Structure 1
Amino acid sequence: MSDEQMSSKEKILFGKATNPSNILPQKLTLDSKIKFRCHPGVKCFTACCGGIKIILTPYDILQLKKRLNIPAHEFLHQYATPVYLEKTDMPGVAIKLREDDHKCPFVTPEGCTVYSDRPTACRYYPVGMADFHEGGDEKSKDGDQNEEEKFFFIVKEDHCKGFEEDKEWTVREWRADQGVDVRDEMNKEWLRLVMRRKSFGLQATLSEQAKRMFFMASTDIDHFRDFVFESSFLDTFLIDDETIAKIKEDDVELMLFSFKYLAATLFGAQTMKIREDKIQAKVEEIKQRQDESVIESVQEYEKIKQQREMDKKV
């Protein structure tokens, strides 16, 4: 397929200017077949685990910190490096590569030491997914995301020998085998937040407070739990007892809850309700400030008026 034959959307993904070699110019569906197998016997084993930016989703961090049995903040300090998520001002983290060989800290010559809990990006490889509906809300008739806007592709790097293996899969089978389906479901609402922000472009920027909140909720579930239960959060938002019980003990439930909170605070989604008394208190506060401003204006006017009267007498 030449650049001239590509649609505008395909050029974004497959055009030589942006992807000179690694992405094959072919749109795949869930039923498309691929030949690929990675195992210790291939010559390039673990070569793809170095010199790469592995972005971590909230669920990735959750699973890895649990696997390593350390708090989220300790995981971030030891194994992650801060980044901005692609084409946004939203802060996130990527795996911190080793300084000596620029490889993932969890990889050894024998393979991945956290394989069953490896990040989503690692599970996808060499399959990629393109989603051009950045609002993230379009649905097809059967309730799934619009298939015209969502398709798959292959990343084929020169060093990779996995494509020379004789194992054949459909994209659907590959995703199921790698556990991608579960990860996608867990990451779905967070990715929608990122795509929604991305669709706004860089003309509008997030406040520093919003960035800090997004970062905490996305990367440090332990501190987010403290924020919910040790601040005025539950006095401000109307949260039912069942949800409170779930998020107090269950990290996954708390993570999913954090996505609703971010959607409400960053984009005004109707995912959470503020208590009526808090709304009324805020209204009264605004009214009080307005009243004070009016009084100050009247006082200033009276001063000016008095000064004019004095000037006339002079």
Structure 2
Amino acid sequence: MATEEYIDNESDFIKSTDKNPSNILPEKLTLSSHLQFACHPGVSCFTACCHNIKIILTPYDILILRKRLNIPAHEFITEYTEPAYLEKTDMPGVQLKLRGEKNGCPFVTPEGCTVYSDRPSACRYYPVGMADFHEGGTNDASEEKFFFLVKEPHCKGHEEPKHWTIGEWRADQGVDLRDEMNKEWLRLVMRRKSFGLQATLSEAAKRMFFMASTDLDTFRKFIFESSFLDTYEMDADTLAKIKEDDVELMLFSFKYLANTLFGAPGLTIKEDKIKAKVEEIKKRQDEALLAAEREYEELKAERDRMLKERQEREAAARKKQADS
């Protein structure tokens, strides 16, 4: 199952097609490129691609699916997903939990997908992937996007007589909306990936990323029921939106994560909180300095005591020698 690809540079893409490990055809495609493909119950391999697969879920996927099922986020995560790390990083996410003897998607039946209109992003992209070249996932980096075709041996959809352009296929699959909803979250993942494994996220940062990415109900409580609003400047319009609108809340969570994990602009800490933090740091520094001074004085006193004892012993030894 193909998904949207964010690759660091073009040479990596070309190398990745060597020996064709992912059945990626080594050809860069554009929105106007030709595609011959169709998937429907009449194709002999129908639903084969829904088994033995790894489908990473984006925050928008989770939001749409749990609304489709009318269950809370935490229940969806527990029942339908399992933990996964994202894009060779230490960032925690989730993937669909496969079921049954055939190791299939929990939403697939012999008749097809039971949540087709709300299916995950990865399912919509197939068999067309997108490569997005930019440095570190940053918003201001120059970008080059192109598309590529995944052609797996078992897939007979490529033999169907239906012809499209890549742009027509993506429009039919509703990919453009998913691109927009997923973009900033994917860039968080790629920004983390660009740092390499020598840099690690703290456990607290991982927990925050996981919570904000998978459970908007809890993230909303974090904003409105913790010290968050005492810490950050928030305008009334934004607060009203994220209190009622899950999509707005999700998009805000990406901004919050970019700010707290990578120092990106977008959120402002209240002036009094900054002053309080500065005072707290200064107090800790002053306390550390006083502690160091006390330790120095104690060490100096101990040194003086030991020196005095040695001098007294030497004086006593000289007196004893003189008396003898």
Pair in the same fold by TM > 0.5? yes
2:231 matches 1:228: no
Paired residues of 2:36 and 2:164 also in contact (CA < 8 A): yes
Range that drifts further, 191-200 or 304-313: 304-313
Aligned partners of 2:160, 2:140: CA distance in 1, in Å? Answer: 37
Whole-angstrom distance in 1 between the partners of 2:17 and 2:186: 22
Establish whether residue 26 from structure 1 lines up as the match of residue 21 from structure 2.
no
Deviation at 1:139, TM superposition (A): 6.6
> 1:4 maps to what in 2?
none
Per-residue CA deviation, residues 54-98 of structure 1 (Å, 9 max, x unaligned), is 110000000000000000000000100100012111111111000
Residues 255-279 of structure 1: per-residue CA shift (max 9 Å, x gap) = 0000000000000001100011111
Are the aligned partners of 1:263 and 1:269 in contact in 2 as well (CA < 8 Å)? yes
Answer whether contact 1:134 1:198 (CA < 8 A) is retained.
no
Tell me which moved more, 128-137 or 225-234: 128-137
| 1:13 pairs with 2:16 | yes
Cross-structure match for 1:243:
238
Supply the distance in 2 between the matched residues of 1:194 and 1:21 (Cα, whole angstroms).
21
Matches of residues 147-158 of structure 1 in structure 2 within 5 Å? 149-158=144-153
Residue 315 of structure 2 corresponds to which residue in structure 1? Answer: none
What SS does the aligned partner of 1:94 have? strand
Q: What SS is found at the alignment partner of 1:271?
A: coil
The structure 2 residue matched to 1:287, chosen from 282, 290, 313, is 282
8 Å Cα contact 2:64/2:118 also seen in 1: yes
2:176 aligned with 1:181, yes or no? yes
Task: Report the Cα offset of residue 99 of structure 1.
Answer: 3.4
Q: 1:88 corresponds to which residue?
A: 89
**SS in structure 1 at match of 2:54:** coil
Helix, strand or coil at the partner of 1:27: coil
How many aligned residue pairs are there?
A: 300
Question: 1:15, 1:44 → 2: CA distance?
Answer: 26
Q: Which amino acid in the other structure matches residue 44 of structure 1? A: C
Q: Is the radius of gyration larger for structure 1 or structure 2? A: 2
Q: Deviations over 1:79-121 (max 9, x none)?
A: 0010001211111111100032201010111110000000000
- Unaligned 5+ runs, structure 1: 1-6
In 2, the alpha carbon distance for the partners of 1:111 and 1:59 equals 22
The correspondence of residues 2-151 of structure 1 with structure 2, limited to 5 A, is: 8-16=11-19, 19-20=20-21, 22-137=23-138, 146=143, 149-151=144-146
Contact 2:14–2:26 under 8 Å retained in 1: no
Say whether residues 1:198 and 2:199 are aligned partners: no
How far, CA to CA, are the matches of 1:167 and 1:29 in structure 2?
18
Gaps spanning 5+ residues in structure 2: where?
Answer: 1-9, 310-324
Q: Distance in 2 between matches of 1:59 and 1:21?
A: 25
54-63 or 195-204: which moved more? 195-204
The alignment yields a C-alpha RMSD, in angstroms, of: 1.5
User: Which string of whole-angstrom CA distances, capped at 9 and with x for unpartnered residues, describes residues 134-164 of structure 1?
Assistant: 4234779xxxx63xx3211111111111111
TM-score normalised by structure 1 residue count: 0.92
Letter of the 2:79 counterpart:
Q
C-alpha change, 1:137 and 1:204, in structure 2 (3 Å) is closer
Residues 272/139 of structure 1: CA separation in 2 closer, same or farther (3 Å cut): closer
* 2:156 maps to which of 153, 157, 161: 161
Indicate if the aligned counterparts of 1:225 and 1:254 stay in contact, CA closer than 8 A. yes
Report % sequence identity.
73
